[in-house]
Structure 1
Amino acid sequence: MLRFILRRLGVSALILVLGSVFLFFITVFSGDPLEDLRESRDRNREQLMAARTRNMNLDEPWYVRYWMWVVGVGKCAALRCDLGLDSRGADIGTALMNAAGSTLRLVTLATALAIIIGITMGILAAIRQYSGFDYIVTFAAFLFFSLPVFWVAVLLKEYGAIRFNNWIADPSVSLTAAIIIGVLFGLVLASLLGGDLRRKLITFAVSALVAFGAVTYFDQVDWWRQPALGLGLIILIALGAAVLLTYLTVGRGNMKILYAGLTTIAVGVVGTFIFSGWIEAPTYPLLLLMLAISVASAIIIGWFWGGWDKSIAIWVSIGTAVAFAGATGLDQLLRNWGPFLDRKARPISTIGSGSPNFEGPFWTGVWDWGVQLILPTIVLTVISLASYSRYTRASMLETIRQDYVRTARSKGLSERVVITKHALRNALIPITTIVAFDFAGLIGGAVVTESVFGWKGMGAMFQEGLTRVDPGPVMAFYLVTGTAAVLMNMIADISYAFLDPRIRT
């Protein structure tokens, strides 16, 4: 395995070097970086041309300039990167830090959401092949896959920002809209749960009424501007996580696993009162400390209840603790939605990745940081959902028809064990490769998305470098995005070899 990893590292490094040479070459010879100054009539034109020549080292051959860039990048090993100056004399390293933070937080979040939601949808569609849910997922996948990124971004900008800001100023949901929401929720849930016609009708009726009642209640109490979960809903969310994790791991064969999850919830309730001050006015170190305390408590509880299944009990307890902590954080975030609206009447901006000079408590600051991520993240996630769901569905259908899966069923194993322990791991093998390619594709899509939403990220740096025929910003873009793409491909290869030992040879 070590030889395989070292070989992949060598190949990845070679690809990065060759790609950097090619990109630097075509950027340098794509135009004249002094063209705008040659046509200028400013009195200090000669001084400006001399300054730009000095900043970009235009008096040197292209290969010397490339070598100077390589030497500067090599200093990154000692944490002293020297990426040079751009055409205006600004330090590229400083600009790169700000731009990379904006782009990578956007792409990383979109990738994580696309993987989780897309793979889950693909698995459920495969398990319920040719059901209503399967048809809905298939239709949505082909629809999203065919949509241009810029068009989806413009639509979300109109309806998700401009019109939402108008609506949230005085929010209300009409009776017709509440009925439509209830019907759509009922149809989706009935198709997801499946069953015979009678069961589908009952599921549809109950879920539609619950959704209609919830929307009506929220409208009456002005929940849209003053939302909250409350301790009851937090407990229900954690309880759902405990039951789901117990079912996925041991089913109903060992109730001590469920008791571990329930005990974790009880300890979490006590913890909310003990750490209430930290929860209401936290800092990021305090949040990490509380999460660490939750995980440590869950490990102790899982070890105590686990018996001969200690490892499973510990993981179920940790999952329940994380769900409880996440729901608690979401509750505090929702409670600060109203104060955030008081500070910012139109919450979702159509330009930029944050509000300049915004000041407020911790949770309102999180809102300001997060709402700017919502629309561009949705754009990139929706585009990626199609490939993940379709590939996962196809891989799962191929896997569950294999002989070893039929053998597992013939031995009397439950469908839960067959799907989670025999089919799922093998079905995920081809998905690991798709993740790497999709990450690189998302970076390219982020360039367009950033242009529509006015983000000052890697896309803006890349475009500015091309426009000014300045290889500095272009190579800075390549240094981050190219390295990330190659690194993701290398991780995919290693994960592939881990999942299937035959790949190592």
Structure 2
Amino acid sequence: MIVYIIRRLLVAIPILIAASALAFVLVDTANDPVAEFTYQLQMASDGDEVSEDAIENFKKRMYLDRSMPERYWLWLTGIGGNGDIGLLKGEFGPSLEGPVADIGAELRERFFITMRLALAATILSFGLAIISGVISAVRQYHKIDYILTFVGFVALAMPTFWLAALIKESAIAFNKASGATWFYTIREASPGYDSMPFWEGMLDVIGHLILPTVTLMLVGYASVSRYQRASMLEVLNSDYVRLARAKGVRNRTVMRRHALRTALIPIATFAPLGVAGALSGAIITETIFSWRGLGTYFVESIIDGDSFAVMAFLLISGTLVILANLVSDLLYGLLDPRIRYE
């Protein structure tokens, strides 16, 4: 298995480089940082003409005086740069926010904020989807099956932005009606939570996590529950399950030892990818709930035309997708003994 993992990671390197090159071209051609910089200076100076020296200095700081292939090479290696660019050196490049802005520091701070949301939503959505999918399959065409199917389709039909806004506005209305703050509707934590006692700070973070997690959980739950129901029905109708029941094996044993494990095999492949999907959903959810995570950083970078910041987010997303695919393959092998990694 170790050899397989190493081989997959080595294969992922050229894939990631090719994806980053394509993303760099798209991001670079979609933005015009010089025009945005000139406009901002004109607004700050009440419409006065911007000097050519200021524009040239800006181009040099952002490496806009180089060709696109050279800029990508600089962004990748840092060779020939000013020490503030080069992935191999751990530098993501200069930011439009100014020389003091550090893209890497922003990413490190926001990454863990987003990942706790994505992980919590993925774990809860898959847990709920597996339970409801199994119940729907076992109680097929009963009332509980119809109810769970209806809930799943309703959640599947709801756009993420609308669902997040609905949950937020409902929580605000509930807080006003009760006269107390039962639900936190903005930010990932209260101001100064770092100075709180450990358990108090932990509860504060969990309280702020509830509403965004519920939003992403419902979005992920809808599709996975349908897959789990279909997979469980297929296993329950298979010959070996019928044979086990014909031999007099208890239904609980059949469900636990034979049916459930086999039915989980297709679902396990979706679990790591669910984290990557939750990361995409976090872009909208974090914006609605005003979180300082990767999602809002990505949106702000696009609005500002901050090319290197956008590239940093896309690189992290691509890396997570590749790692998620690797984990999916490994989980598939653990659940299916017929698969061997050589």
1:351 counterpart residue number? 186
1:146 correspondence with 2:179: no
Q: CA deviation at 1:504?
A: 4.6
Q: Quick one: structure 1 residues 119 and 55, their matched pair in 2 at CA, closer, same or farther if it must change by over 3 Å?
A: farther
1:414-473 CA deviation, whole Å, 9 max, x = no partner? 111111111111111111222244332221111111111111211222122222332211
2:96 counterpart residue number? 87
Alignment match of 1:427 (pick from 263, 266, 279)? 263
Structure 1 length as normaliser, TM-score? Answer: 0.60
For residues 208-247 of structure 1, the aligned pairs below 5 Å read none
Work out the CA distance in 2 between the residues paired with 1:504 and 1:4.
Answer: 10
8 Å Cα contact 2:273-2:328 kept in structure 1: no
1:98 counterpart residue number? 109
Alignment match of 1:372 (pick from 185, 203, 208)? 208
Structure 2 length as normaliser, TM-score? Answer: 0.87
Work out the CA distance in 1 between the residues paired with 2:54 and 2:228.
Answer: 56
1:254-302 CA deviation, whole Å, 9 max, x = no partner? xxxxxxxxxxxxxxxxxxxxxxxxxxxxxxxxxxxxxxxxxxxxxxxxx
1:444 correspondence with 2:280: yes
**Unaligned segments of structure 2, at least 5 residues:** 78-85
Deviation >6 Å, runs of 4+ = none
Aligned with 1:428: secondary structure? helix
1:286-324 CA deviation, whole Å, 9 max, x = no partner? xxxxxxxxxxxxxxxxxxxxxxxxxxxxxxxxxxxxxxx
Q: Quick one: structure 1 residues 366 and 2, their matched pair in 2 at CA, closer, same or farther if it must change by over 3 Å?
A: closer
Q: Quick one: structure 1 residues 423 and 355, their matched pair in 2 at CA, closer, same or farther if it must change by over 3 Å?
A: same
1:8 counterpart residue number? 8
1:123 counterpart residue number? 134
Q: CA deviation at 1:496?
A: 1.6
Work out the CA distance in 2 between the residues paired with 1:457 and 1:117.
Answer: 25
Q: CA deviation at 1:347?
A: 5.3
Alignment match of 1:465 (pick from 301, 304, 317)? 301
Q: CA deviation at 1:503?
A: 4.8
Work out the CA distance in 2 between the residues paired with 1:165 and 1:51.
Answer: 51
Work out the CA distance in 1 between the residues paired with 2:310 and 2:109.
Answer: 15
8 Å Cα contact 1:107-1:443 kept in structure 2: yes
Aligned length: 324
1:56 correspondence with 2:70: no
Q: Quick one: structure 1 residues 380 and 491, their matched pair in 2 at CA, closer, same or farther if it must change by over 3 Å?
A: same
2:88 counterpart residue number? 74
Work out the CA distance in 2 between the residues paired with 1:16 and 1:163.
Answer: 46
8 Å Cα contact 1:27-1:466 kept in structure 2: no
Name the amino acid aligned to 2:107.
L
Q: CA deviation at 1:372?
A: 1.3
Q: CA deviation at 1:102?
A: 1.6
8 Å Cα contact 1:432-1:492 kept in structure 2: yes
Work out the CA distance in 2 between the residues paired with 1:132 and 1:166.
Answer: 36
1:492 correspondence with 2:331: no
8 Å Cα contact 2:232-2:259 kept in structure 1: yes
Instruction: Tell which deviates more after alignment, 116-125 or 464-473.
Output: 464-473
1:78-124 CA deviation, whole Å, 9 max, x = no partner? xxx22222112211101111221221111111001111111111112
8 Å Cα contact 1:27-1:470 kept in structure 2: no
Percent of paired sites with the same residue: 41
2:81 counterpart residue number? none
1:414 counterpart residue number? 250
Work out the CA distance in 1 between the residues paired with 2:243 and 2:222.
Answer: 32
For residues 190-201 of structure 1, the aligned pairs below 5 Å read none
Q: Quick one: structure 1 residues 421 and 53, their matched pair in 2 at CA, closer, same or farther if it must change by over 3 Å?
A: same
Work out the CA distance in 1 between the residues paired with 2:70 and 2:76.
Answer: 10
Aligned with 1:353: secondary structure? coil
8 Å Cα contact 1:119-1:389 kept in structure 2: yes
Q: Quick one: structure 1 residues 407 and 26, their matched pair in 2 at CA, closer, same or farther if it must change by over 3 Å?
A: same
Work out the CA distance in 1 between the residues paired with 2:282 and 2:94.
Answer: 25
Q: CA deviation at 1:500?
A: 2.8
1:281 counterpart residue number? none
Q: CA deviation at 1:3?
A: 5.0
Q: Quick one: structure 1 residues 29 and 156, their matched pair in 2 at CA, closer, same or farther if it must change by over 3 Å?
A: same
8 Å Cα contact 1:446-1:459 kept in structure 2: yes
Q: CA deviation at 1:34?
A: 1.2
2:34 counterpart residue number? 34
8 Å Cα contact 2:276-2:317 kept in structure 1: yes
Name the amino acid aligned to 2:164.
A
Work out the CA distance in 2 between the residues paired with 1:464 and 1:352.
Answer: 16
**Unaligned segments of structure 1, at least 5 residues:** 76-80, 170-344
1:115-159 CA deviation, whole Å, 9 max, x = no partner? 111111111211111222111110000000010001111111111
1:464-487 CA deviation, whole Å, 9 max, x = no partner? 222233221112212322211211
8 Å Cα contact 1:56-1:470 kept in structure 2: no
1:325-366 CA deviation, whole Å, 9 max, x = no partner? xxxxxxxxxxxxxxxxxxxx5353433212223454333322
2:18 counterpart residue number? 18
Work out the CA distance in 1 between the residues paired with 2:11 and 2:125.
Answer: 28
Q: CA deviation at 1:382?
A: 0.4
